Amino acid sequence: MKEFKKFLLRGNVIDLAVAVVMGAAFGAVVTALVTDLITPLIAAIGGKPDFRQIYFTVHNSRFLIGDFINALVSFVLIAAAVYYFIVLPMNALMARLRRGEAPPDPTTKKCPECLSEIPIAAKRCAFCTSALT
pLDDT tens profile 116-125: 999 999 999 9
Its CATH class, for the domain covering 2-97, is mainly alpha
Checking DSSP bridges between strand 56-58 and strand 117-119, what pairing results, if any?
Answer: unpaired
Q: How far is CA 51 from CA 47, 61, 98, in A?
A: 9, 19, 48
In this prediction the pTM is 0.55
Element (H, E) at 56: strand 56-58
- Contact assessment for residue 18 and residue 62, using Cβ atoms and an 8 Å cutoff: no
Domain boundaries, the chain: 2-97, 103-133
pLDDT tens profile 37-90: 877 787 777 776 566 778 889 999 989 888 888 788 888 888 888 888 888 998
